[in-house]
Amino acid sequence: MIASYQWLRALCPTDAGPERVAELLTSRGLTVDSLDAGATDVALEIDIPANRPDCLGHVGLARELAAGLGVERAEEIDPPTADGAPVTDSFAVTIDEPDLCRRYTASLVRNVQVGPSPAWVVERLTTCGLRSINNVVDASNLVLLETGHPIHFFDAATLKGGHVRIRCATDGEPFTTLDDEPRALTANTLMIADDERPLALAGVMGGADSEIGESTEQVLIEAAWFAPSSIRGTARRLGMHTDASHRFERGADPEGVLRAQRLAQRLLGELAGGKPAPGLIDAHPLPHVRPSRTLRESELPRLLGFSPESDHIQSAFAALELDPMPGDEGVWNVTVPSWRVDLEVEADLVEEVARHVGYDNIPTVGDEARPAPPSRSERATEERARDLTSQLGFHEAFGYSMVGQGEDAAWVEPDSPKPMQVENPIADWLSQMRRSILPTLRRAAELNHRRGQTDVRLFEVGRVFLRPDDAAEGDFPHESLRLGLAWSGAARPRHWSRPTDCVTLPELQGLVERLLAGLQPSVKRLPVAGGPSAYQPGRAVTWKDPDGKAVAWAGHIHPDLCDDLPDGILFAELVLDHVGRTETVSYRRISRYPAVHRDLAVVVPADLSYERLLLTVTDVPSPAPVDFNAVDRYQGPPLAAGEASLTLRATLSPEDRTLTDEEIDGYRRAMIDALGRNLGVEIRQGD
């Protein structure tokens, strides 16, 4: 809505400048988007909330301004002096649809002379974004802009039978509106009609047969209250959005019809020389009853986080014309004005107190129940995980934090906490908080496969929700940060120059280890067989911390969970909480000295894990930084059954000198001794 600064000052006397008025309205929830200064006035473009139709006129804005400034609004001007025969001698009103039209008022102004409007009217309308038509039409627009209540002027001479009926149209009833567009009406369209024909679409637009023309001398003024649902339906069915329908469909003031009538009569007298007829037709089948509401002071700290003084509560309600009355201890009773259609529940009254006190004046207090925001190191880990995974050729997916009942059961370890239920899920498949990130990633992979995308490389970084079984009611869960991977199809990008191999577990295993090393280089973790039940037995691995806590899983999905997925698809999940701890990464200069390689060919039990072998040799003190790689494995004659030959290569990279033969041989013997002592492993004969 565009409002006039000078018009607001006329309704609410104040010395506040346009900037101060804009600041005050914005602080009260009526955001002023811009100020446009003209020669003598300033236009304020205001964003009016949909639930505040009372502010779609200058009177409503002046109420808010007066409440914020603590001043009195200008008094209403008395109605003009009436003359001649009463309006009831010429016209009568019948409401056939009282549920759709609860109040209809009509008054008559005679001796109207249609002509141009004075300069102040043209300037005021221009400031508000309207153009001047003539003095009579301009008067109706001034009433709309000042009161926020739409009215309609009929040329009284065109009404047949002196009878105004508010009725519904018949199916297919023809009607031509003011814009000369023929309309085909339906049975649920509310109309204003005389004894012979329709005159107007109630609350939307008048008709061409009864519009004001240059020869108009008598004007019948309509000011009514129409049901918002009826006006909204008519406007949508006919594709018409007018200033009148915009206000009626949000809820007009049923008592505001009287102010609109008085202002319209006065303006027709001042601008067009009209003389009002005595009396007012006021058809009021369902009188408006001002509702009462109750506010408990205990709700204020619960919803606002602080407790205003009782005097502040009373002054807030009084400034907003809510007629506050103290009730029982800590209870306030208020009567809602007819123009405040938005005050329906107790929380609305709490908001009114907050608006009047001022949102900026509400003190900031700590909230011990609020979960701590992610630390800088957590955010860094999250971004590092995204960078590493995308650099490895994966595309990021985003999934819901909720899953269906039992959907994540197979993806978590048996001792995981029970899932947290969602009280009001928007769908059955979003009824509990996820404990693993893979169910949502599985959905994304399945969607890709259904659409013909066989080469899938997806990852998701997100949180899972784990609340211990012994947690107290209301406790927040632990939000564990996870990285999930889904991989199927080609192991490498397809190219005509080489055959396409499908991804296998060793490739995913290598990818996980690269991620673990990139996130926490100082910790060495080796995989062990096994994983949650969602993976195929014998085709899954788990990485654990030295203290035995699992930090990652990877493997082929179990056939029972494949559904529309291919058998070869693999999934992995990393617990970033455990692998992204803050640590200082140190770098060393590339050695200028030659590396030294020593191979250990050992005979080991065939079921001995490489992890145990590697942990044993890494515990041996080395004279220089060392890396280990398994370069050969053999099983068969002449080895005994149940034995295997493994060649382990140690690469020493001295930093400051060349190693001596004695140092190298001594280190090799120490490794052999450790293997024999701890694992019973022997060096292969002939080595």
Domain boundaries, the chain: 2-69, 87-283, 292-361, 376-579, 596-683
In DSSP terms, 107 is beta-bridged to 221
Please state the separation of Cα 190 from the chain's center in Å.
37
Kind plus residue range of the DSSP H or E element containing 486: strand 478-488
Q: Please calculate the CA angle 200-206-208 and round it to the nearest 5 degrees.
A: 100
Position 613 scores a pLDDT of 85
Is residue 258 within 8 Å of 266, Cβ to Cβ?
no
The model's pLDDT over 214-232, given as tens digits with 9 standing for 90+, comes to 999 999 999 999 999 999 9
Structure tokens at 212: 């004001």
Position 376 scores a pLDDT of 62
The model's pLDDT over 261-295, given as tens digits with 9 standing for 90+, comes to 999 999 999 999 999 999 999 999 988 899 999 99
* 3-state secondary structure (DSSP) of residue 687: coil
Closest CA to 304 of 342, 343, 350: 350
Class of domain 2-69: alpha beta
- Measured N-to-C along each axis, helices 58-69 and 18-27 cross at an angle, to the nearest 10 degrees, of 90
The model's pLDDT over 600-623, given as tens digits with 9 standing for 90+, comes to 888 888 888 777 888 888 889 999
Specify whether domain 376-579 bears CATH 3.30.930.10. Answer: yes
The model's pLDDT over 629-671, given as tens digits with 9 standing for 90+, comes to 888 888 888 888 888 888 989 999 888 888 898 999 999 999 9
Instruction: Note every long-range contact of 116-121, with CB atoms under 8 Å and residues 24 or more positions apart, other chains counting.
Output: 117/271, 118/271, 121/271
The model's pLDDT over 331-355, given as tens digits with 9 standing for 90+, comes to 999 999 999 999 999 999 999 999 9
Q: Residue 363 and residue 356: Cα distance in Å, rounded?
A: 14
Position 685 scores a pLDDT of 64
Question: What is the average pLDDT value for the chain, to the nearest integer?
Answer: 89
Position 74 scores a pLDDT of 86
Beta strand pairing status for 281-283 and 275-276? unpaired
Position 610 scores a pLDDT of 79
DSSP string, 306-369: S---HHHHHHHHHHTT---EE-STTEEEEE--TT-TT--SHHHHHHHHHHHH-GGGSPP---TT
Cα diameter, the chain: 132
The model's pLDDT over 477-487, given as tens digits with 9 standing for 90+, comes to 888 899 999 99
- Residues of the chain above pLDDT 70, percent: 95
Quick check: 682 pLDDT over 70?
yes
Class of domain 87-283: alpha beta
Quick check: 377 pLDDT over 80?
no
pLDDT band at 524 (very low <50, low <70, confident <90, very high): confident
Position 584 scores a pLDDT of 62
Half-sphere exposure of 151 (CA within 13 A, CB side): 35
Sign of CA dihedral 603, 608, 614, 615: negative
Closest CA to 192 of 286, 282, 100: 100
Beta strand pairing status for 456-466 and 395-396? parallel
Quick check: 372 pLDDT over 70?
no
Q: Residue 339 and residue 247: Cα distance in Å, rounded?
A: 12
DSSP string, 593-605: SPPEEEEEEEEEE
The model's pLDDT over 425-448, given as tens digits with 9 standing for 90+, comes to 888 899 999 999 999 999 999 898
Quick check: 371 pLDDT over 60?
no
Q: Residue 376 and residue 374: Cα distance in Å, rounded?
A: 7
* Selected residue with higher pLDDT from 615 and 47: 47
Is residue 681 within 8 Å of 602, Cβ to Cβ?
yes
- Residues of the chain above pLDDT 90, percent: 55
Position 611 scores a pLDDT of 77
Length of the chain: 687
Position 470 scores a pLDDT of 67
The model's pLDDT over 78-87, given as tens digits with 9 standing for 90+, comes to 778 898 999 9
Domains 2-69 and 292-361 agree in fold: yes
Which amino acid, one-letter code, is at 533?
S
> CATH fold of 596-683, please?
Alpha-Beta Plaits (3.30.70)
Closest CA to 230 of 195, 264, 185, 178: 185
Alpha-carbon distances, residue 366 vs 93, 299, 353, 370, 478 (angstroms) = 61, 18, 21, 9, 20
pLDDT band at 545 (very low <50, low <70, confident <90, very high): confident
Kind plus residue range of the DSSP H or E element containing 140: helix 135-147
Residue reference for tokens 């202002």: 263
Which amino acid, one-letter code, is at 445?
A
Q: Residue 245 and residue 565: Cα distance in Å, rounded?
A: 54
- Average pLDDT for 399-411: 91
Quick check: 370 pLDDT over 90?
no
Buried b / exposed e over 246-259, threshold 16 CB at 10 Å, is: bbbbbbbbbbbbbb
The model's pLDDT over 304-329, given as tens digits with 9 standing for 90+, comes to 888 888 888 999 999 999 999 988 88
| DSSP label at residue 122 | H
Position 517 scores a pLDDT of 84
Structure tokens at 251: 């809820």
Buried b / exposed e over 78-104, threshold 16 CB at 10 Å, is: ebbebeeeebeebbebebebeebbbbb
Structure tokens at 381: 């880990």
Q: Residue 161 and residue 166: Cα distance in Å, rounded?
A: 15
Residue reference for tokens 């003024």: 221
The model's pLDDT over 548-585, given as tens digits with 9 standing for 90+, comes to 788 899 999 988 888 778 778 999 999 988 886 555 66
The matching CATH number, chosen from 3.40.50.2300, 3.40.630.10, 3.90.230.10, 3.30.56.10, for 292-361 is 3.30.56.10
Beta strand pairing status for 292-296 and 478-488? unpaired
Kind plus residue range of the DSSP H or E element containing 648: strand 643-652
Position 359 scores a pLDDT of 84
Structure tokens at 240: 């018409």
pTM of the model: 0.59
Residue reference for tokens 């949909």: 50
As a whole number of Å, the CA-based R_g of the chain is 40
The model's pLDDT over 136-173, given as tens digits with 9 standing for 90+, comes to 999 999 999 999 999 999 999 999 999 999 999 999 99
Cβ within 8 Å of residue 9, ≥6 positions away: none
Cβ within 8 Å of residue 45, ≥6 positions away: 1, 2, 32, 33, 34, 35, 36
